[in-house]
Amino acid sequence: MTAKPRGDAGQAFPIYVVMVAGLLFLAFAFFAVGKASATRNEAQGAADAAALAAAQDARDTLGPPFVAALMTPGGLNEFLQGYMFNPVSPCAQAQRLASSNRSDIASCTPEYGYLRDRMHVSIRTRYPVGDTVIPGTETKYGTADATAVIEFRCGYRFKGDPGDPVNFRCDGRDGFSIDPTDFDQGAWAALSKAIFAVHLVDD
């Protein structure tokens, strides 16, 4: 009678253990990558929202200087070429949106240009990726950058002298007129959306 070898099963068991351990490590590694990716996506969403909020707030501050520019010879062209809005209020709005997304503003800076101003925002999440099998993720925070532009979208024509009504036609839509001597600044918030587009752009 031939005896069965008893060492085969014992020798295979450590191999199974190593394979299972390897598969578990890979699963945890993929989980860590997923958490890092999710944190990055959330950071980008917070940065996009903050940049848009900053640009929209900046647009809403343009009413008084815009209407004042219509009162002086060449004033509107000078305004579109070189007016520099104060970034304090726009950046405060950016921080407000960042906070609502559990993030903070790392930097908030304007860039002024002809017919097109920009608001650059960088954020950092208040929460890290968390503990994973990959070392360092417990202190790794999400960061992201975003840029929104404030873009003049109209053509215009003066009816007469500075201070007279100005005709605007924006994005091919029906035209409208602004009389700088009889303009309600309270109506600027709604009107500004027709005159200035705000949208995200790639850096």
Dig out the tokens for 75 from the structure. Answer: 């004033």
Q: What's the mean pLDDT in 94-118? A: 95
Residues 103, 47: Cα–Cα separation, whole Å: 9
Can you give the pLDDT at residue 172? 78
pTM: 0.78
- Between the alpha carbon of residue 187 and those of residues 27, 66, 178, 183, the distances in Å are 57, 13, 11, 8
Can you give the pLDDT at residue 24? 57
Residues 47, 126: Cα–Cα separation, whole Å: 13
User: Residue 26 corresponds to which amino acid?
Assistant: L
* Cα 199 to the center of its chain, rounded Å: 9
Dig out the tokens for 50 from the structure. Answer: 């903050």
User: Residue 192 corresponds to which amino acid?
Assistant: S
